[in-house]
Amino acid sequence: MNMQIPKVSSRRIEILFVIIALALANSIVSMTLSKEPQFTVSVDPSAFPITKGGYKDVSITIKSLYGFESEVRLKVSRAPAEAIVALEKESVFVENAREMIVNLRVNIPERANLVGTHYVDVDLESSNIVQPIELMIGVVGVGIQQAEIKDYQFVPATVYIKKGSTVKWANQDFVAHTVTSVNGTFDSGLLGFGRVWEMKFDKIGAYQYFCLPHPYMVGTIWVLD
C-alpha cells in the first residue's frame, strides 16, 4: 500500500491556528455573556401595606458583579391601573464593585377602587440581561369597600381595611353564594344574583371566610389599626 502523507505548508498551519484561536475566543466570549447575573438587585421593602390616599417609597439597590460596569435601565412592567408608580430615574450607571440605589414611589389615589393585594413589577435591563423584581402591595381601604363575587371567586380575595370600615359584597354570578366566617362570627345567608351584603369590622384581626355551597371559594379581611 502506498501511504501518502499530505504535505502541510507552514502557511496552512498558521491559518489552522488562527481558526482554532478564533473558535476558542468565541466560546470564551459566549461563556462570559452567559455568566448571569452580572448585577444583583434587592428591594426594600418588597411587601407592604398602603392606605388609600397614601404612598410608599421603596429603594432598589443594584450591585455590580464580576467587574460589571454598565448602564442599567429600569422600567415598570406591571402595576395596577389606578396606582401611580414613579421611578426616580429610568437608568443608572453601575460602576465596578459599587452599588447604586434608585428610589421608587407607589402612590394610591384616594379615589382608587383598589383594595387587597396587588403587584408592581420592575424590569432592570443591561445588555440583554433582564432582572425582574416584584413588589407586593396590600392596599388598605377606609370607609366602605366594594367586593364582588364573580366566577365562583371573591374579588379581591384579600381585603385590607382600617378598623371601623365596612365591606360590601355584590354577587355577580347567576348562582347563589354566601359570605360565611370560618369561625362562625358572621354569615350572609344565600345571596342570589345581584344581591349585596355588607359587614362592618370594628376589631382588628384577620377574618377568614368562605362560601357554604362552594367551600373552595375563600377570602380574608385584614382589619388594621
Provide the binding-site residues for Cu ion, judged by CB under 5 A.
Answer: 177, 211, 213-214, 217
Give the span between the Cα atoms of 210 and 187, in whole angstroms. 9
134: CB partners within 8 A, 6+ apart: 46, 119, 120, 121
Q: Is there a contact between 211 and 183 (Cβ–Cβ < 8 Å)?
A: no
Please give the backbone phi and psi of residue 213, each rounded to the nearest 5 degrees, phi first.
-70, -25
**How near is the Cβ of 195 to Cu ion at its closest, in Å?**
12
CB closer to Cu ion, 48 vs 193: 193
CB closer to Cu ion, 39 vs 169: 169
In the DSSP assignment, the letter for residue 185 is: S
**How near is the Cβ of 157 to Cu ion at its closest, in Å?**
13
148: CB partners within 8 A, 6+ apart: 154, 155, 169, 170, 171, 172
CB closer to Cu ion, 118 vs 177: 177
**How near is the Cβ of 154 to Cu ion at its closest, in Å?**
9
**How near is the Cβ of 216 to Cu ion at its closest, in Å?**
9
Q: Is there a contact between 126 and 39 (Cβ–Cβ < 8 Å)?
A: yes
**How near is the Cβ of 173 to Cu ion at its closest, in Å?**
7
CB closer to Cu ion, 59 vs 172: 172
User: In Å, what is the CA distance from 181 to each residue of 2, 142, 209, 219?
Assistant: 95, 21, 4, 9
Angle at the Cα of 199 from the Cα atoms of 172 and 52, rounded to 5 degrees: 85
**How near is the Cβ of 205 to Cu ion at its closest, in Å?**
24
CB closer to Cu ion, 88 vs 198: 198
For the record, the C-alpha cell of 180 comes out as 360565611
How far, rounded to the nearest angstrom, does the alpha carbon of residue 71 sit from its chain's CA centroid? 23
CB closer to Cu ion, 63 vs 214: 214
For the record, the C-alpha cell of 163 comes out as 378598623
